Amino acid sequence: MTKGKTRLIMACVLTLACYQSYSQAAFPTVTVNLNYPQFQRLKLDGGYVYIEDAGLRGIILYRAGENSYIAYDRACPHHPDAGCAQVQVDGSSLFMIERCCNSSFSFPDGQPSSGPAQRALVQYRVELAGAILKISDEIVN
């Protein structure tokens, strides 16, 4: 095997290892009571809240529609380990942006819509039972 092929294989292995560690953020199930005042934004389509202490860099919980909620990890898939790489909702509330690399992501699927990011935001499983949402660390995308 040539040196070039060996380097390429090592780069692929390291990239896969980094992506796997990014994709696996174990945390205890987060329970959200939609009746609590801090979650009132989630009563309307397009509403969102930040949940700290879950995921790699926190979670954006977004109401896509009645009975439809999406939980995105706030870690930027372009460089999840960078200290400044935390995704936030843009001031327009129409998309999410990560200012370190200036990548933006769409709400419906977390796919990058501009910037250098090539992968979608990690999305966690959300279950709704009445007014209670449960966010688990199970990845759904």
CA distance to 117, 135, 136, per residue, from 32 (Å): 30, 8, 11
Neighbouring residues of 32: CB distance < 8 A, sequence distance ≥ 6: 39, 42, 51, 61, 132, 133, 134, 135
**Residues comprising the chain, all counted:** 141
pLDDT at 102: 81
**Domains of the chain, start order:** 3-139 (2.102.10.10)
pLDDT in tens for each of the 141 residues of the chain? 555 444 433 433 333 333 444 455 789 999 999 999 999 999 999 999 999 988 888 999 999 998 999 999 988 887 666 566 788 888 887 888 877 788 889 988 999 998 888 889 999 999 999 999 999 999 997
